[in-house]
Amino acid sequence: ILCYAASLMGVWIFLQRRSLIGETLSHAAYPGLVLGGIVASISSDHWLYFFIGSSLACFFALKTMEFLEKQGVSQDASMIFVLSGFFSLGLLLASYLQTVNAAILLDVQKYLFGDVVTMLDEHVYLYGALSLIITFFTYGFYRRIQIHLFDQNYAKLTAIYDPKLSACSVALLIAAIVLGARSSGIFLVSAMLIAPVSAARAFSSSLHTLFILSGGFGVLAAILGYFLSISLSSQLALPSGPVIVLASIFLVNFSNHFTPKNGLVSRAIRSFSFLIRTQQENILKTIYQSGEKDRVSLQKALEIQPVFFHFLLFYLKREGLIYLDERLYFLSAEGAAKALRLVRSHRLWEVYLTKHLHMQAEKVLLSAEEIEHVITREMEQKLDTLLDKP
């Protein structure tokens, strides 16, 4: 539930290119957390004081960053100053709390690294309420959120802009960070804001899809990380917070490698497919220009590795583009037509690069060799018209 809520708020800061704000605020919450512990040493209601203290610390951290940026300090420098300064203050207060009430300090330390297994039913209700509020907030103000995230200048020029919307988003972000520290830890909660969104971004092209997938990846990372933490607890004492973060990072890497459009694996497959097609077209063009070729001379002319070359010849024969006659390769009618189109595309590009881009003749050949394989029918027609149908 908590990872779901954090990932929804992560969409805000991810799209605003302020991903480090989560890291800054989570560390800045520490002095407020310790102050809450100091106050809680005289009360039994610990978590409420922790929440109020951490939230106030995050609020003052934001105001400090705004003040520094108004004074001309860059955004990243102000974040570093606030992160290190507030966290150092928290360490000093923790030293004092250790002398006052060491037992309360142990409760505070649970927020540093996270401790899922000691959480109570009241935490579930609290996180459930936070998730519902964030979900209804996102759904109810979706159109305004969309404009705030992508075109805030336009929003400010119209009645759409509402400063209260930004204030609510900041309040919910702080709540997600402060409450998230109880399960993932102050050091790691920022990862639960950004990692699910990073994983979802590779699969989404619209804001509503990004919100849905981010929430789904957040839940998946939490379930996967907690399951691994528990299942391996007999062999290794693995804290659940770090394992959940590692699970979310695994999902980011998975999405970056296996997305259909921009994944590394998909791009490698497309690149290899293009290489195969390019070499096949070079074989057709070489046979066309020389009339016929035997296997050895054809391979030497194209400088292709033997195993790869045999595969290319097998594919071209299977497609009916070439045929073998007395150990010589000839083009079929379809293969000859394809080769002729390649040669014509090459010539068109040579003329275009020479006459319109004024490239030197000796440099044109290599460029035309590269471009001829990516020309489409539409491009060929436009080139033909532009060059007066040469």
d(CA 165, CA 170): 9
* Residue 366 pLDDT > 80: no
* Tens-place pLDDT, residues 160-219: 666 777 788 888 888 888 887 777 778 788 888 899 999 998 888 888 899 999 999 999
Question: What tokens does 23 get?
Answer: 């890291």
Mean pLDDT of 289-309: 80
- pLDDT of 157: 67
- pLDDT of 142: 84
Mean pLDDT of 299-323: 85
> Mean pLDDT across the chain, nearest whole number?
84
* Tens-place pLDDT, residues 151-162: 766 666 666 666
Distances (CA, A) of 238 to 17, 193, 225, 244: 33, 22, 10, 10
Mean pLDDT of 76-101: 89
- pLDDT of 245: 86
Alpha helices by DSSP H, the chain:
2-15, 20-40, 46-70, 75-100, 102-113, 121-140, 142-150, 152-157, 163-180, 189-201, 207-231, 240-258, 264-290, 295-302, 306-318, 333-355, 361-371, 377-386
* Residue 31 pLDDT > 70: yes
d(CA 23, CA 192): 10
pTM of the model: 0.71
